[in-house]
Structure 1
Amino acid sequence: MGPKRDDAHGSKSTASSSSASASNDAILAAVNKYGADLAKVSLQMDDMKKSMEGRLDTIEAHLSTLQNDHGQAQQRLDGLEEALSHTDVRITALETTCAELQVANGQLKAKINDLEGRSRRQNIRIVGIREGEEKANPTDFVARLIPELLGPANFSKPVKIDRAHRSLKPKPRDSEPPRTIIIKVHNDRDVPKILRLSRQQAPLHYQGRKVFIFPDYTADVSSQRQAFSNVRKKLIDAGAKCSLRFPAKLQVVYNSEVKCLPHLQMLNGLPPP
């Protein structure tokens, strides 16, 4: 009976040993398999690491470039701000100078207009005389024309004319109105007399054509006086008497009351003279 037990016990030990060996082999196989997998994973991790490092290097390079560009842009911006500051100072100085020049220019224009007006005080303009009537001597023609238009009895002595000429425009065609004759009268007392008689005896005629005599104003004064045209017409239609005082002031007589209203020019959309 004893040996049989030993054999059974030995068989069990052998079987147990075989089973343990098989289990170890399986474990070793699994470990080897996982080791290979881990090696692959490790290789993949190394590749990923290298890829990430390469990408990080690229990002760092781009970042460095951006930092350099930002630094340069900041320097340019600082330069522009400094230049803009200097420009603002210069513009302010120029605006101040411009305002001063505008004031000085307005004063000079007023002075020039006044001087030009004074230089024309002895001038008159005659409108409506046909081209060529004055022949080659307009001065003598005008000296004879004025008494003929206004009446010789009104002039105790001949009207002395310093010079006379047509306005400096191209000679008109036959179908166009003639150019104005501009005259400088020698005696300053004759000018208001001629203008007064022309108003009193209007309308004047010469060789069947209407003739008008006006003062010789500057272009600026003429435009200011002309601006009253619509207002004067309305006032005359309303029964008022109107006249213009130099340089451009409207005098209105209504119900025996006299008023001088330069601001009426604003009714035509223009500033007062």
Structure 2
Amino acid sequence: MPKKDESQRDTSKASQSAAGNDAILVAIANHGAELSKITTLVDGLKKSVEGRLDVIDATLTSLQKKYHESERRFEDVDEAMSANDSRLATLEASCKELQVANTLLKAKVNDLEGRSHRLNVRIVGVKEGDEKGNPTDFVVKLLPELLGHENFSRPIKIDRVHRSLRPKPQPNERPRVIIAKVHNDRDVFDILRLSRQRSPLLYRGDRVSIFPDYTAEVSVQRQAFAGVRKRLTDAGAKCSLRFPAKLQVEYNNTSKTFMSPEEAARFADSLGSANE
């Protein structure tokens, strides 16, 4: 009996051992399937990652290429800016030279224009049409009539005469100025001197005035001395304007010439301080 029982126990153990082995094999088989799935998943992830890495590599390569292109462009722009800076400096220097030259040329032109007017006189107040189509002969006869025939030992030589260049006025409007170019500068001096001495001048009952013919710029320059000229005259100085715009002042037997109103004003201030 005991041997039989032992035999049964061995058989039972063998059966249990076989069942356990089968379970283990089943478990191993299941784990193998899971491992296969994991391996497949890992392979898929690996391929996906590799594909994405390839895309990233391509993108980085493209970005590097664009970066290098941008860098070259920036270098080109920097070179162009440096070249432009040099050109700008050259242009600025040229512009300054041109400004200086333009100032000198403008001064020369103004001087030439002013000197071309020095032999002109402006006659104001003569009615339109009094010259009857021959303005030059009219002015040759008009000046001695206004200033006195006895003051002219010979006829005044007039080169040309014209009315100011503006539309002809209506009968009730002021007549245009007559501008006459006198041939001799001495005659111009005498005409202007006599016109001041014999003022007021009358022609056919109308008042007539004779003035120098200055350019607009010279007129402005001379007008700038008006205020200080009055101050100096009131202080007892004798003042006169020289062409184009220089103030000559005689005071206490001394003579001074001022090129600007500011210089003359400082002299007038000194006279005021000396009189206090």
* Normalised-by-shorter TM-score class: 0.7 to 0.9
Q: How many aligned positions are there?
A: 263
Any unmatched runs of 5+ in structure 1? 267-273
Q: CA deviation at 1:138?
A: 0.8
Q: 1:87 aligns with which of 67, 84, 90?
A: 84
TM-score (normalizing by structure 2):
0.76
Q: Distance in 2 between matches of 1:200 and 1:104?
A: 44
Does the CA-based 8 Å contact 1:240-1:253 persist in structure 2?
no
Cα gap change, 1:194 to 1:53, in 2 (>3 Å): same
2:46 to 44, 49, 63: 49
Q: Which amino acid aligns with 2:189?
A: P
Aligned sequence identity (%): 55
Tell me the CA shift for residue 184 of structure 1. 0.9
Letter in 2 for 1:221: V
1:118 aligns with 2:121: no
SS of the residue corresponding to residue 175 of structure 2 reads coil
1:198 partnered with 2:195: yes
Q: TM-score, normalised by structure 1?
A: 0.76
Give the whole-Å Cα distance in 1 for the aligned partners of 2:229 and 2:14: 140
Of 152, 164, 169, which residue of structure 1 is paired with 2:166?
A: 169
Q: CA deviation at 1:173?
A: 4.5
Partner Cα distance (2:117, 2:244) in 1: 13
**Is residue 76 of structure 1 aligned with residue 90 of structure 2?**
no
How far did 1:192 drift? 1.4
Alignment of 1:91-170 (within 5 A): 91-170=88-167
Partner residue of 1:270? none
Give the Cα–Cα distance (whole angstroms) in 1 for the partners of residues 11 and 205 of structure 2: 161
Q: Given the superposition, is the C-alpha separation of residues 59 and 207 from structure 1 closer, same or farther in structure 2, using an over 3 Å criterion?
A: farther
Aligned amino acid, residue 117 of structure 2: R
Q: Name the CA distance, whole Å, in 2 between partners of 1:140 and 1:200.
A: 24
Contact 1:138 1:164 in 2 (8 A): yes
The answer to whether 1:211 aligns with 2:225 is no
Query: Deviation at 1:140?
Result: 1.4
Structure 2 unaligned residues grouped into runs of 5+: 264-276
Q: CA RMSD in A?
A: 3.4
Aligned AA (1:89): S
Change (3 A) 1:190 1:27: same
Cross-structure match for 1:185: 182
After TM superposition, list the pairs within 5 Å mapping 1:238-249 onto structure 2: 243-249=240-246
Question: Which SS does the other structure have where 2:260 is aligned?
Answer: helix
Q: Given residue 122 of structure 1, which amino acid in structure 2 is its aligned partner?
A: L
Which letter maps to 1:98?
Answer: C
- Decide whether aligned partners of structure 1 residues 246 and 117 sit closer, same or farther in structure 2, where only a CA change above 3 A counts: same
State the AA in 1 paired with 2:138.
Answer: F
- Could you say which residue in structure 2 is the equivalent of 1:225? 222
Q: Which amino acid aligns with 1:70?
A: Y
